[in-house]
Amino acid sequence: MSIAAVILAAGFSRRLGREKQSIEFAGEMLVERAVRMAREAGLMQVIVVVNREASFCEALEERGCLIVMNELAEEGMASSIRRGVSAACTLKASGVVLMTCDQVGLEVGHLLGLLADPGRIAGSGYAGRVGIPAYFPAAKFGDLLVLHGDIGARELLKGGRIVVDERLAVDVDTEDDLAKLFRQ
């Protein structure tokens, strides 16, 4: 099976006030960490969806990532999902794992748990909700390609498997989040 990682990195980090994807944590940019997690989980096709202002593309290309520009990034997360899944279709992927780069608690074992049943949708459970990282088999690509707005794929995760990991609730959206991260 050829499952691709789709790293959603086209956000403008407005609440943080600077590009969070390129923030260094434990010796690597947050987006590089997400790429590493995907690769260590066996996802050899790594698609990174970026916006027009992304400064980190060259570093990711050197790591063999497919960089996909999202000209509609202002629309929200759904536009990035559509762009990434379209690229996965072109690569003939049998499934995708949708990821962000700011969930610093993500570990390889969690991604492997999402992939345990490649025929079923699987989402991540944390903070009382189900979200990404999430796995979708190719049979669900059509549903992903018609998403709109900034909601993402949360509705599609209903009825899917849930892999719980409360460490995923820690993400980087504000300077306070970043300060907490560096105090840990």
4-37 confidence digits (pLDDT tens): 999 999 977 566 556 678 888 888 999 999 999 9
Average pLDDT, the chain: 90
**Choices 3.40.50.150, 1.10.1060.10, 3.90.550.10, 1.20.140.10: CATH for 3-183:** 3.90.550.10
- Stretch 36-46: mean pLDDT, rounded? 95
- What is the pLDDT, as a whole number, of residue 48? 97
Query: What global pTM score does this model have?
Result: 0.91
Question: Is residue 97 a contact partner of residue 111, using CB atoms and an 8 Å limit?
Answer: yes
Q: Are strands 45-50 and 95-99 parallel, antiparallel or unpaired?
A: unpaired
CA distance linking residue 113 with residue 175, whole number of Å:
31
SS3 78: helix
Question: Is residue 73 a contact partner of residue 80, using CB atoms and an 8 Å limit?
Answer: yes
Q: Each residue of 90-129: b (16+ CB within 10 Å) or e?
A: eeebebbbbbbbbbbebeeebbebbbeeeeebbbbbbeee
- What is the pLDDT, as a whole number, of residue 88? 98
SS3 23: coil
The predicted-structure confidence for 73-117, as pLDDT tens digits, reads as follows 888 899 999 999 999 999 999 999 999 988 989 999 999 999 999
The predicted-structure confidence for 71-83, as pLDDT tens digits, reads as follows 998 888 999 999 9
- What is the pLDDT, as a whole number, of residue 6? 98
Q: How confident is the model at residue 184 (pLDDT cuts 50, 70, 90)?
A: low
